[in-house]
Amino acid sequence: MAGKERTWTLNDLANIVGGECDGDPSYVISRPVPAGTNDPQGITFATNEKYLKAALETEIGAVLVPVETPQVTKNVIRVADPRLAFGIVLGAFTKPVPTQPGIHPTAIVHPSATVSDSASIGAYVVIEENAFICDNVKILPHCYIGDNCHVGENTILYPHVVLVQDIRVGKKCILHSGVVAGTDGFGFNWNGQYQQKVPQVGGVVIGDNVEIGSYTCIDRATCGDTVIADGVKFDNMVQIAHNVKIGAHTVMAAQVGISGSATVGERNVYGGQAAVSHHVSIGDDMVFGGRSGIFGNMDQAGEYFGLPAVPLSQAMRVMALQNRLPELFKRLRSLEKEIAELKNGT
């Protein structure tokens, strides 16, 4: 739902994206919109003439176009890379969630905790013993910052984030609503009568520039730390089990599950619902399609897919052939009959 966005003139936006304003420089733009939107106050982008033509048929207010685009009747901003420029425009229209400086009177901060003067602590936040909240941190309402947790500079925690105990979050991180770090790892031993809990006394270390989606769970280690390196991006509802290590700049889409003590390298990409088994080690620069299942160690950089994950091209071929199994059985039966006839001399 469209909010009370700030507005920009066409000329302002051209300056922001470093482009050339071609049209009415004082034209007011209220919001970036998807291609094809009929919005006289909107701006969108077109990477080629086909998309531009489509945009010109709408009442869109302005279009970001490649420098070489012929003159058109619409307001345009000419840029080297319209998609990139649109990202900058999106940034210009970003509206921060409301926060106030200081500690909200309803927030409960333990006397042993340290909160920077420049931090913003929202309503009904609870901060427990020995927690440490660095400069410019924003903690939104209803978050729980447990015993001995550390939140690094310029990190934002959306409402309802829970850091249970012994969690270290780096700088410039974004933890979306409902992230939980520090739930006990899932460790039990069957003793013949019941599942005996293996105590979980480790922590979680999250690097800098990490973004974590809603309801993603990162369990505390049995001992030592579960580790999320710098620049990692998790979508919603990702499961990171105890003792896992995730390498820098790895990206995981929603509902991915990484089992206990697995190690994932740097710059990996996991499609939604993919999963890695216990104690598996994955190298750098691996790309796994959605719902891939990885049972064993893999370290040759490339694209993979399937259960178990195999090189993407092989997986696609196998998947296509699977649906031809009925035909295959039919051809086999036919061959068996022909051979029987040949043997019988018929």
C-beta of 6 vs 53, nearer to a second copy: 6
Which runs of consecutive H residues, i.e. helices, occur in the chain? Answer: 10-17, 49-56, 82-92, 312-322, 325-344
Least distance to a second copy, CB of residue 249, Å: 6
The answer to whether 91 and 97 have CB atoms below 8 angstroms apart is no
Question: Smallest gap, in angstroms, from Cβ of residue 51 to a second copy?
Answer: 15
- Look at the chain and count its residues: 346
Buried-state track 180-217, b at ≥16 Cβ within 10 A, e below 16? bbbbbbebeeeeeeeeeeeebebbbbbbbbbbbbbbbb
161-190 mask for a second copy (x: CB under 8 A)?
A: -x-xxxxx-----x-xxx-x--xx-x-xxx
Q: How far is the CB of 56 from a second copy (least distance, A)?
A: 19
| Binding letters toward a second copy, positions 186-225, x by CB under 8 A | x-xxx---xxxxxxxx-xxx---x-x-xxx-x-x-xxxxx
- To a second copy, the closest distance from the beta carbon of 70 in angstroms equals 26
Residues 85-114 that bind a second copy (CB under 8 A): 87, 90-91, 93-95, 97-98, 106, 108, 110
DSSP class of residue 121? Answer: E
Check binding of 74 to a second copy (CB under 8 A).
no
- Return the amino acid letter for 149: C
- Exactly one of 24, 49, 59, 129 binds a second copy (CB under 8 A); that residue is 129
Contact letters (x/-) for a second copy, 224-263, by CB under 8 A? xx-----x-x-xxx-x-x-x-----x-x-xxx-x-x----
Which of positions 287-316 make contact with a second copy (CB under 8 A)?
290-291, 293, 307-308, 310, 314
Cis peptide before 199 (omega within 30 of 0): no
Q: Which phi and psi angles does 175 have, rounded to 5°?
A: -110, 115
Q: Work out which of 28, 160, 287, 312 binds a second copy, going by CB under 8 A.
A: 160
| 176 and 194 Cβ atoms separated by less than 8 Å | no
Site of tokens 């207010």: 61
Catalytic entry in 176, 242, 278, 279: 242
Q: Which residues are known catalytic residues?
A: 242
